[in-house]
């Protein structure tokens, strides 16, 4: 599933390519493309102009020159692509937006092979769409409160990996960047947040910020063509991964083989020597 670095890469690409364009026609082309809670069909935003593209955690939304916004979640394999003559046409288009600006036309599509992603027309409260109201700020949000977030982690008594994945504590981190964060912090994924000092929790948050920033700079992580940016290009952070997906490969820090365990229906990759399960 695309995490914050991938969604931010998409947001930046969209900002450069479609900001200022007007939607001349919006089409939902699959029964699951439009979120059931959408307050209106896509065609109601015909004639709207893209004023800005914003993000919180893994949620993306298009600010329009009207009260409503167009919200999107990429799910497992969602992609926003600008159709270009020299690139293959997307094969799993679920929604399409015909755009125009100063007689220049573009076609933006929402491509989603596994159909877990969605788009939605929503209202906004305090600058945040309805579907993202419950989502916590992420470390790149101007409203992010590091001290408050440290306290949120400290008050829980759950595994630190589970806490990192909880989008209501701190948003944006998924399985890939949680494993990379804990490897850098030398913290075992099963250690409880109650057994970590606030200083160590702060360190975990800072490493999460660091690893996601590095991933953004490299365009995110692409293991296959399920994640590509708006130009159809892959990210290169996979080459920098130290733990995630490296089962039995040597730890870049100490050489011990990386282990993989499963809990909570998710896999976790860690170094048994660097990330010992001790308080």
Q: Which residue out of 186, 266, 272, 273 is catalytically annotated?
A: 266
Q: Is 2 a catalytic residue?
A: yes
Number of H helices, E strands in the chain: 5, 12
Q: Is 88 a catalytic residue?
A: no
Q: Is 43 a catalytic residue?
A: no
Under 8 Å between Cβ of 135 and 127: no
How many Cβ atoms are within 10 Å of 59's Cβ, its own excluded?
21
Q: Is 6 a catalytic residue?
A: no
Under 8 Å between Cβ of 149 and 136: yes
Of the chain, the end-to-end C-alpha distance in Å amounts to 31
Closest CA to 60 of 70, 68, 48, 50: 70
Q: Could you tell me the CA-to-CA distances from 214 to 50, 190, 210, 251 in Å, in that order?
A: 28, 25, 6, 19
Give me the DSSP letters along 65-98. SSS-EEEEE-TTTEEEEE--TTSPPPSSEEEEEE
Structure tokens at 145: 């409160």
Under 8 Å between Cβ of 75 and 7: no
Report d(CA 174, CA 238) in Å as an integer: 14
Q: Which residue out of 58, 94, 152, 184 is catalytically annotated?
A: 58
Q: Which residue out of 3, 8, 180, 203 is catalytically annotated?
A: 3
Report d(CA 238, CA 242) in Å as an integer: 9
Report d(CA 223, CA 271) in Å as an integer: 21
Closest CA to 255 of 269, 272, 276: 272
List the catalytic residues.
Answer: 2-3, 58, 266
């Amino acid at each position: 599933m695309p995490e914050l670095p991938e969604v931010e890469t998409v947001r930046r690409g969209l900002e450069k390519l479609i900001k200022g364009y007007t939607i001349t026609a919006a089409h939902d082309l699959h029964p699951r493309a439009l979120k059931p809670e959408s307050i209106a069909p896509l065609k109601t935003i015909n004639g709207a102009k893209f004023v800005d593209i914003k993000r919180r955690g893994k949620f993306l939304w298009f600010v329009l020159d009207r009260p409503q916004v167009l919200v999107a979640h990429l799910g497992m394999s969602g992609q926003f692509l600008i159709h270009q003559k020299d690139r293959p046409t997307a094969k799993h288009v679920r929604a399409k937006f015909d755009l125009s600006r100063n007689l220049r036309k573009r076609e933006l599509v929402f491509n989603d092979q596994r159909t877990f992603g969605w788009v939605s027309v929503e209202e906004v409260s305090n600058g945040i769409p309805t579907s993202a109201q419950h989502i916590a700020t992420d470390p790149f949000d101007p409203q992010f409160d590091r001290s408050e977030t440290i306290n949120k982690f400290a008050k829980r008594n759950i595994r630190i990996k589970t806490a990192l994945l909880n989008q209501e504590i701190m948003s944006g981190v998924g399985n890939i960047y949680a494993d990379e964060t804990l490897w850098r912090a030398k913290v075992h994924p099963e250690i409880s947040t109650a057994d970590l000092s606030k200083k160590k929790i702060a360190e975990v948050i800072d490493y999460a910020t660091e690893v996601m920033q590095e991933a953004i700079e490299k365009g995110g992580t692409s293991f296959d063509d399920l994640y590509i940016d708006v130009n159809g290009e892959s990210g290169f952070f996979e080459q920098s991964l130290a733990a995630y997906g490296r089962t039995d490969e040597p730890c870049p820090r100490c050489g011990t083989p990386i282990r993989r365990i499963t809990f909570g229906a998710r896999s976790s990759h860690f170094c048994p020597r660097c990330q010992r399960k001790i308080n």
